[in-house]
Amino acid sequence: MADVKTVFINGVEYPFDAGQTVIQVAHENGLDVPHYCYHPGLSIAGNCRICMVEVEGDAKPQVSCKLECAPPPWVSEPLRIQTESELAKSARAGTMEMLLVNHPLDCPICDQAGECHLQDYSYQLGQGQASSSTAKTKLPKNVAFGEKIVYDAERCIKCTLCVRFCEEVTETNELNLGGRGDEEIVIMSSKGEFETDYSMNIIDICPVGALTSRDFRFKSRLWFMDFADSVCTGCARGCNVITGGRNGSMMRMEPRHNADVNQWWMCDQGRLDYRYVNTPTRIATPRIKTADGVWAAATVDDAILAAAAALKAAGGNVLVDGGCTLEEMHLAQQLAAALGGKATYAAATGEADGFLRVAEQGANAAGAELLGLARATKAGAAAVLVVERDANVPQALRDGADAVVVFATDADHVPASAQVVFPFGSSAERDGLFVNTDGRVQVAQRNPGIGPDNLTPPYELLEEILGELDAGYDWHGRDGIVAAIQAQPAFAKISLPAAQATAEVGATS
């Protein structure tokens, strides 16, 4: 057998690894070959036929997702593939036409519009008129697949990605294909609910709008939303995500590919956890408690002065949420030092599920340990309290701390002892670094479409307060803070990304 190690795609020679198929090599090299039923994280089914390419010398096109780059043993020359030849294009156009014979063209009412492969390829390859005049089949719409997912059989192209996900990734086998021919649909096991807590990933991988999220259903058009690369703070795994928001509300969270952390997936609990961001009791402006005990909205500058004055009088410890960024935790340490106290962090412990979710709930607990913050286990006095989530800093800890300066997301989480309150953004609204359970440093980016307008980043507020305390602290800015953390011995073997660096952007499919 000749040892062929390369493949020609559109005339360019690319090397390949043993077992790789043409579509994999093409995607790796930035070539766009259309695909529905292919997903890099699942087995290859080769049933949708949209990925057809021409193999030079062959009369018929072949599916590139299943076609191995290694030529058959009796051929000693590399395969020569054309992805954009007339034959390849007409094969795909034919596939598109067949797919659209029964597709309802629901785009005006379909949540997938804007991120739908069928819509995209239809623009590229489709024709304006159908050649078939038969009536479209009527199939069940708005079928509940458990509580979180809505299935629309008319939109489904039977690519079996969702079925394979439940077979291969979660191994819970809730879905299968049923019926025949035109009437073929995806059916759910008789239990009617998913056993896995990773079910919503099938919404992301479904190439069309056949599977949509009950939670996000009809909430917003994609093209009105802002997106940002961030990190889930639901547990210490730190799955890479893309946050989506509009007009100050967070709309959804979707996984972002990171081969070393979460692959393509995230758990449903983390995905739906974002809802705390939209609580009606969000704090939007700083507040100061007046002499007669009522809260008054204040400017940021006034609040900083008031906070510094209150802290000079009180002194003491700082308690931060385990979901704070490295920058915030580092400044909390500086603040505690200036106040003559200690900085601690609080985080809940949940249950690991053996896949992604880990027991540690403090998204940056590993970072806190690296910085040398101790874990607060029971209530103890703290002059400054930073609480993002109720789960990490529960009421007992908040009330027990007797804090005078509080950074909080939700007004309901502000203890009665507070004198000055600063609005604290949710994890989707703050830039910063997180260290996940495996010691991996990850970047979270602020999504401008989420949260109250003009939120001052907490690290700026903390620096300002430190400056007012006359403890000899110089303003650093975010770059300076990251550099100061990097200079610590515990971070000698870790390289922190520069503050402006964007998070690693993975392929979404």
- Tell me the three-class secondary structure of 443-485, residue by residue: EECCCCCECCCCCCCHHHHHHHHHHHCCCCCCCCHHHHHHHHH
Closest CA to 41 of 204, 151, 241: 204
| d(C-alpha 102, C-alpha 154), whole Å | 7
**Shortest reach from residue 160's CB to other proteins, in Å:** 25
Distances (CA, A) of 167 to 39, 42, 113: 14, 10, 27
Among 141, 246, 312, 440, binds other proteins (CB under 8 A): 141
**Shortest reach from residue 212's CB to ligand SF4, in Å:** 10
Nearer to ligand FES, 21 or 447 (CB): 21
Closest CA to 335 of 379, 297, 304: 304
| d(C-alpha 92, C-alpha 61), whole Å | 10
Binding mask 161-180 for ligand SF4 (x = CB under 6 A): xx------------------
Binding mask 246-285 for ligand SF4 (x = CB under 6 A): ----------------x---xx-xx---------------
Judged by CB under 6 A, the number of residues near ligand SF4 is: 26
Chain-centroid distance, C-alpha 218: 20
**Shortest reach from residue 146's CB to other proteins, in Å:** 17
Binding mask 38-57 for ligand FES (x = CB under 6 A): x-------xxxxxx------
Closest CA to 362 of 353, 350, 374: 350
What residue 218 binds from ligand FES, ligand SF4, other proteins, none (CB within 5 to 8 A, per partner kind)?
other proteins
**Shortest reach from residue 207's CB to ligand FES, in Å:** 9
What residue 157 binds from ligand SF4, ligand FES, other proteins, none (CB within 5 to 8 A, per partner kind)?
ligand SF4
Distances (CA, A) of 22 to 6, 10, 81, 125, 343: 11, 12, 8, 21, 54
477 CB-near residues (< 8 Å, 6+ apart): none
Binding mask 389-428 for ligand SF4 (x = CB under 6 A): ----------------------------------------
Q: What is the dihedral of CA 39, 40, 44, 46, to 10 degrees?
A: 50
**CA geometry: angle at 264 spanning 498 and 440, to 5°?**
35
What residue 282 binds from ligand SF4, ligand FES, other proteins, none (CB within 5 to 8 A, per partner kind)?
none
Rg of the chain taking only CA atoms, in angstroms: 27
What residue 67 binds from ligand FES, other proteins, ligand SF4, none (CB within 5 to 8 A, per partner kind)?
none
Contact positions with other proteins (CB under 8 A) in 186-225: 217-221, 223-224
Nearer to other proteins, 87 or 105 (CB): 105
> Are 255 and 39 spatial neighbours (Cβ–Cβ below 8 Å)?
no
Nearer to ligand FES, 124 or 281 (CB): 124
- Tell me the three-class secondary structure of 96-135, residue by residue: HHHHHHCCCCCHHHCCCCCCCHHHHHHHHHCCCCCCCCCC
Closest CA to 387 of 360, 418, 358, 349: 418
| d(C-alpha 484, C-alpha 475), whole Å | 12
* 246 binds other proteins per the rule CB under 8 A: no
* 96 binds ligand FES per the rule CB under 6 A: no
Among 7, 9, 25, 37, binds ligand FES (CB under 6 A): 37
**Shortest reach from residue 273's CB to ligand SF4, in Å:** 7
Taking contact as CB under 6 A, which single stretch among the options 26-34, 60-68, 233-241, 365-373 is the one that binds ligand SF4? 233-241
Nearer to ligand FES, 38 or 145 (CB): 38
Which residues of the shown chain bind ligand FES in the complex (CB under 6 A)? 35-38, 46-51, 63, 65
Question: Which residues of this protein are in contact with ligand SF4, per CB under 6 A?
Answer: 108, 156-162, 186, 206, 208, 210-211, 232, 234-235, 237-239, 262, 266-267, 269-270, 356-357
Which residues of this protein are in contact with other proteins, per CB under 8 A?
A: 107-109, 113, 141-142, 217-221, 223-224
